[in-house]
Amino acid sequence: MDGDRIFSCLAHVKAKNGGSVLESDELGAYVTIYGLANRVEQFVDLAEDALAEIGFEVLNLDEFLELDSAGQDSVIQNKIDQLSVENRIQFDSFNAYTSEYGFH
């Protein structure tokens, strides 16, 4: 973990190839992602790969932050505490878009 930093971002996603991952797959979803990486570009690659593995296409990643390893609220701290060299990405809850409020 030498040189690794903790990042977070907001991901806007939709199911790949018309798959069915969420109730409202055609509208997509958003999720906060936490990751352990040397630099933000590595974090982006890890996040995109992890989302693809569970059936999502990334529409957009934004709101990037570098986080401290302590002093976060309990939900965020729990996600940070689960990060390791073997487990570099953690997802918060996926939130499906409803009606016309999907990501554009």
Q: Domain residues of the chain, as ranges?
A: 5-101
In this predicted model, what pLDDT tens digit does every residue of 4-43 receive, in sequence order? 999 999 999 988 876 666 655 567 889 999 999 999 999 9
DSSP 27-57: T-EEEEEEEEESSHHHHHHHHHHHHHHTTEE
Its pTM stands at: 0.86
The Cα–Cα gap between 9 and 43 comes to 9
Q: What is the pLDDT of residue 35?
A: 97
pLDDT in tens, 46-99: 999 999 999 999 999 999 999 987 777 898 999 999 999 999 999 999 988 876
Q: Report the sign of the C-alpha dihedral through residues 86, 72, 91, 41, in that order.
A: negative
